[in-house]
């Protein structure tokens, strides 16, 4: 069974709806998203937190579509163009501002659906979060174990729920180990290829309304960042678990290719 792993990452896309912070006009949204200081911070988190593990996925058979607007200012648009030349799995889609955010997301994803795939493993990824280096391989393997559920419903949510909440503020960097169900990050939505939908078409906090779901509570599979520019600054519901500081720092590198001292340096700067 051919399973395509296909993700969408929005980088300061100027569209109405689709975010917890709402605006009435494109100009209001653009003024917030294209503020030069904010864009510089977003690029820092994108390159320092998000990209390391995507560059080192141990299953390279995936596509990550980076969605932004055609008027994204330089140097960030040029840097995104350079990035997709460097990473074979990345694609850049420049989508004009659209009021219907889900239609915009579908416009970005649709050109990259593999017509030979029998199943599409859709995932969303925020530009300041991280997944583990084996996310693609593990999601593909775990789907094979539960694909009978997908066959019955034509839809299936596979939730890798063990991760780290990373709070970044003036006080420094704080990591909280936490099991969070259907956070969005490291949540794969398996759909038939003929469905005109993406992972963002389903509110991840209510995804059980539309499809069966399987939760896999280990190993560490995601980092969710919380900082001044987060669309939502809340940690959300979940269950904490304990990790020793030394083990936590080791797992940062092994699972996400991140170093605490590097992140703390970036935060100070």
259-268 per-position pLDDT tens digit: 999 999 988 8
**What's the confidence (pLDDT) of residue 166?**
93
Q: Say if CB 261 and CB 49 are below 8 A apart.
A: no
Q: Say what the pLDDT of residue 233 is.
A: 56
**pLDDT at residue number 117:** 96
Contact 102, 201 (CB under 8 A): yes
Helix pair 26-33, 36-45: axis angle to 10 deg = 60
Alpha helices (H) along the chain: 26-33, 36-45, 51-55, 76-86, 101-109, 135-153, 245-256, 260-268
Reduced 3-state DSSP string for 34-61: CCHHHHHHHHHHHHHHHHHHHHCCCCCC
Please report how many Cα atoms fall inside a 13 Å half-sphere around the Cα of residue 221, on the Cβ side: 27
Q: Which domain holds residue 240?
A: 3-268
Ranking 36-45, 185-194, 222-231, 241-250 by mean pLDDT, the lowest is 222-231
* Number of compact structural domains in the chain: 1
Please enumerate in sequence order all residues whose Cβ is within 8 A of that of 96, keeping only pairs 6 or more positions apart, or say none: 69, 70
Parallel/antiparallel/unpaired status of strands 213-216 and 155-160: parallel
Counting residues of the chain whose pLDDT is more than 90, the rounded percentage is: 76
6-46: per-residue pLDDT in tens? 999 999 999 766 555 565 688 888 998 999 999 999 999 99
DSSP conformation letters of 100-121: -HHHHHHHHHGGG--TT-SEEE
Place of tokens 């003929």: 194
Q: Give pLDDT tens digits for 187-220.
A: 999 999 988 899 989 998 899 999 999 999 989 9
Q: Identify the bridge partners of residue 164 per DSSP, sorted by sequence position.
A: 177, 223
CATH of the domain at 101: 3.90.550
Position 228 scores a pLDDT of 67
**Strand 155-160, strand 187-191: pairing:** antiparallel
């Amino acid at each position: 069974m051919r399973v395509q792993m296909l993700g969408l990452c929005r980088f300061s896309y100027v569209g109405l709806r689709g975010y917890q912070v709402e605006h009435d006009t494109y100009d209001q949204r653009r003024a917030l998203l294209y503020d030069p200081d904010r864009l510089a911070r977003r690029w820092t988190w994108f390159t320092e937190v998000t990209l390391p593990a995507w560059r080192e996925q141990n299953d390279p058979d995936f596509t990550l579509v980076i969605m932004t607007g055609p008027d994204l200012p330089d140097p960030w648009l040029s840097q995104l163009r350079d990035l997709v030349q460097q990473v074979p799995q990345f694609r850049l889609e420049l989508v004009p501002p659209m009021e219907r955010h889900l239609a915009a997301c579908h416009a970005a994803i649709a050109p990259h659906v593999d017509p030979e795939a029998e199943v599409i493993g859709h995932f969303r990824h925020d530009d300041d979060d991280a997944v583990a280096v084996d996310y693609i391989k593990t999601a593909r393997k775990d789907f094979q174990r539960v694909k009978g559920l997908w066959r019955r419903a034509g839809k299936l949510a596979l939730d890798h729920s063990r991760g780290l909440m990373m709070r970044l503020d003036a006080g420094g960097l704080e990591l909280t180990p936490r099991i969070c169900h259907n956070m969005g990050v490291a949540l794969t939505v398996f759909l038939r290829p003929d469905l005109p939908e993406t992972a963002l078409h389903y509110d991840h906090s209510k995804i059980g309304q539309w499809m069966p779901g399987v939760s896999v509570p280990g190993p560490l599979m995601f980092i969710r960042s919380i900082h001044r520019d987060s669309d939502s600054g809340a940690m959300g519901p979940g269950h904490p678990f304990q990790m020793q500081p030394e083990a936590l720092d080791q797992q940062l590198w092994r699972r996400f290719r991140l170093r605490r001292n590097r992140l703390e340096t970036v935060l100070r700067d």
